[in-house]
A = this chain, B = another copy of it.
């Protein structure tokens, strides 16, 4: 349903847009495009083939360019930057928030980066350089150094006067941070608290010391976990000496969570989440060949097993007809176990402590499914080939393969995790290899033993 709705809206814009584009009337296109938010424009650009993308990109209001660049995947971003000359790029990005700028900067040509740095005032330049000094996917990269701090030894009244003097607060500010003279993080004060307490109230009475600070070196994933486990809207970032460096706001965390989901969905098919829907054929081919080659190797492994039983198949061709069923059903059943395991591992719910119990549960499920499906399968095979032995063999082979599937579904992701790989990405290849090999082996093996007289 998520899709349905989003689809409908954006698809309608898409249709309008491409009609207007085809008709060559660019006025309506410009008007339509600039009613959208930068994120929506980015989404729209990603949905356009290169030629149209270039045209529409040229129609986007200059002041939106920067925000749009922040909201598209790396590959599309590349294609958009390629359309801009250095000055345009500088103009587009120089007004971005530090954290967004840091997110972009890697993709900019060096000459442009220098230009941008020159165009910034010293404070912002230092802030940017600081943010860039932290590795990607860490809190240091996500944080915005632009925070409002107050001292503990003052009153609401004083803070209010300071804020009125200061004027506008950084976007999404919901707390002020209380720091020591040495800029160490002491706690935070909710804007709401400042509004609901008498002017004379001492600040140190309003400090919320509960909110733990995030270490600048923490991974983006850990940051996302903390935000959603504790329903945070923002959190302070400190260095190893508890010096306040900046803050992370939940809107950036939402982006992380979305990227994680895409990373898993596409990664499981051997693709990169930054893959452009319209990436050049050559590039797309190269990327997919790697993945398909691995699969080809595993396919040969399975084929070689079948090869061992050529003689058997030669005597009973029905085996060739039925063997894909045994192998395929194992793959399907294993995929179900895998899906549960991958989520369990992602949530940290599966570990050495409960793996054995899970294995035991899945084994029993597999056995029951094997009995149920095996009976049906045997029945159909009997009607089809009028061969009791064959129908018994396939029922047993299916049940055994479902057990192997459960085994692989539980153990493969655990093993990959232990080996330091992301089980969401690599598990399915190993799983299907197991279920194909064992499916062919059990079925053809049992047939060789019991059906050849």
Contacts and interface: CB of A to CB of B under 8 A. Distances in A.
A447 interface: no
Contacts of A37: 229-230
Interface stretch (A78-86, A108-116, A124-132, A340-348): A340-348
A323 B265 CA distance: 28
A6 B445 CA distance: 43
A321 B295 CA distance: 16
A6 B253 contact: no
Nearest to A306: B321
A164 B198 contact: yes
A325 interface: yes
A34 interface: no
Nearest to A3: B346
B361 A281 contact: yes
B349 A47 contact: yes
Nearest to A326: B299
Interface in A288-345: 288-289, 291-293, 295-296, 299-300, 302-303, 306-307, 310, 313-314, 317-325, 327-329, 332-333, 335-336, 338-340, 342-345
- Tallying the copies of this chain within the complex gives 2
Q: Which of A137, A224, A324 gathers the greatest number of chain B CB atoms within 10 Å?
A: A324
B164 A196 contact: yes
Contacts of A338: 269
A422 B2 CA distance: 9
A350 B310 contact: no
B39 A349 contact: no
B296 A329 contact: yes
Given A292-B369, A364-B281, A417-B7, A40 B229 contact: yes
Interface residues of A, number: 148
A383 to B, nearest CB: 11
Contacts of A313: 313, 317, 320
A354 B48 contact: yes
A436 interface: yes
Nearest to A16: B353
Nearest to A229: B39
B340 A325 contact: no
A48 B167 CA distance: 51
Given A373-B293, A424-B3, A254 B251 contact: no
Nearest to A15: B353
Contact of A11 (B160, B164, B348): B348
7 contacts: A1-B137, A15-B352, A15-B353, A19-B353, A250-B250, A295-B332, A307-B384
